[in-house]
Amino acid sequence: MNPDSTQKPDRLPPRDLPRRRSGRHRNPLSFDSWVGTPTLVLAIPGTADPGGYGQQVVDLVRAYRPEVAIRFGYTEGDEHPLTEALAGLETGEGRGIRAVVVPLVSASHPATLHAINTTVSATGVSARVTEGLGPHPMLAEVLHLRLAEGGFVRADRMRLISVVAATGSMADGVVVGSVGGADAVSSAGVTAVLLAARLGITVLPVDLEDQAHLDEVFGQMRSAGSVRTVLAPSIIGTEYPMSAVEDVARRYGARVCAPLGAHSTLAKIAALRYAEVLNALGIEQPPTLDELPAPVGSRHRPES
């Protein structure tokens, strides 16, 4: 028992402030931040969509990084371009990295990454471009949700023993679609393995832009006995038209679920990419007292 509480029972016990965990068990989202932390710029492939996808993702990422300035920009088009998001972040004398650019792609997408690097170089901004959101285990979680929203799979994970018979709408096989070439297919393969473990059905990755690969994968699904195949596009949704995904599904007699889109899990991965860059760079010197903003509030009123 605290001795202060016995001697002065009318006083509240002292409050112990939480300590930030350090070392190997440190929160991966944490980093050593202060005034002057680089701006987080979300680079979205393609052109702006009517649904306001960029602002949706910014709002979701802000939940994980409320202390960081967050902007977004599209790699194509005149509405909310990436050049506008990078404006005002040019390298200044004595200033270090000004921005961390996170590409909102689920896997390696050469066209998008080339457009981002070209824009960053042209604007002269001192920025670091991170990897895309995938491969990452949490992408399987989001795809599982999209499949469940379409009524194709159970919302929870597969049970060892189930007394509920599968309905005619439930999928008996899933094809994880990707765009971006071999690296993107490899990333989708990781998602497919994790998704298969969740659902207990056959799940295979495919390149949506490779006709021969599409024929091969959907042929494998038919050979495996799948008659209710669902195409799950492991894409954000702006880097590849959904109309093309739906055309592929119709061609092979499959159904299709929604793309990854805007989701808090994707926002968390984006925040992780940002933290990884800052932790890798390390912090050389904290700001001086002169660089810190003046405190405000009744406790810090200037002396008269």
Q: Are residues 116 and 61 in the same domain?
A: yes
Backbone angles phi, psi at 41, to 5 degrees: -110, 120
CATH number, domain of 151, equals 3.40.50
Radius of gyration in angstroms for the set of CA atoms belonging to the chain, rounded to a whole number: 24
CA-nearest of 184, 195, 107, 213 to 146 is 195
Domain residues for the domain of 73 are 27-134+264-282
Helix, strand or coil for residue 293?
coil
Residue 299 belongs to a domain:
no
253: left (phi > 0), else alpha (psi -120 to 50), else beta? left
Q: Are residues 275 and 242 in the same domain?
A: no
Query: What six digits make up the tokens of 191?
Result: 């998602």
CATH number, domain of 92, equals 3.40.50.1400
CA-nearest of 141, 199, 133, 190 to 171 is 199
Helix, strand or coil for residue 18?
coil
Query: What six digits make up the tokens of 253?
Result: 């007699």
Specify the pLDDT at position 28. 55
Q: Are residues 239 and 222 in the same domain?
A: yes
Task: Beginning with the edge strand found earlier in the chain, give each strand of the sheet holding 173-178 in spatial order.
Answer: 202-207, 173-178, 229-233, 255-256
From start to end of the chain, where are the E strands?
39-44, 70-74, 99-103, 127-129, 173-178, 202-207, 229-233, 255-256
Q: Are residues 208 and 272 in the same domain?
A: no
Residue 17 belongs to a domain:
no
Q: Are residues 209 and 241 in the same domain?
A: yes
Residue 297 belongs to a domain:
no
Q: Are residues 150 and 237 in the same domain?
A: yes
Residue 167 belongs to a domain:
yes
CA-nearest of 123, 155, 129 to 141 is 155
Residue 22 belongs to a domain:
no
Contact by Cβ (8 Å): 293, 35: yes
Specify the pLDDT at position 294. 54
Q: Are residues 149 and 243 in the same domain?
A: yes
Specify the pLDDT at position 91. 66
Specify the pLDDT at position 8. 53
From start to end of 2-89, where are the E strands?
39-44, 70-74
Q: Are residues 70 and 86 in the same domain?
A: yes
Q: Are residues 103 and 249 in the same domain?
A: no
Number of Cα atoms under 13 Å in the Cβ half of residue 147: 34
Q: Are residues 148 and 229 in the same domain?
A: yes
CA-nearest of 199, 201, 203 to 157 is 199
Residue 298 belongs to a domain:
no
- Give me the number of domains the chain comprises: 2
User: Could you report the average pLDDT of every consecutive run of 10 residues in the chain (304 residues)?
Assistant: 51 47 50 66 94 94 94 96 93 73 95 96 94 94 96 74 56 97 96 95 97 98 96 95 97 97 96 92 51 49 49
Q: Are residues 128 and 273 in the same domain?
A: yes
Give the predicted TM-score (pTM) of the model.
0.79
Q: Are residues 192 and 211 in the same domain?
A: yes
Residue 12 belongs to a domain:
no
State the alpha helices, DSSP H only, in 155-210: 182-199
CA-nearest of 76, 71, 78, 80 to 52 is 80
Contact by Cβ (8 Å): 205, 189: yes
DSSP state, 298? Answer: G
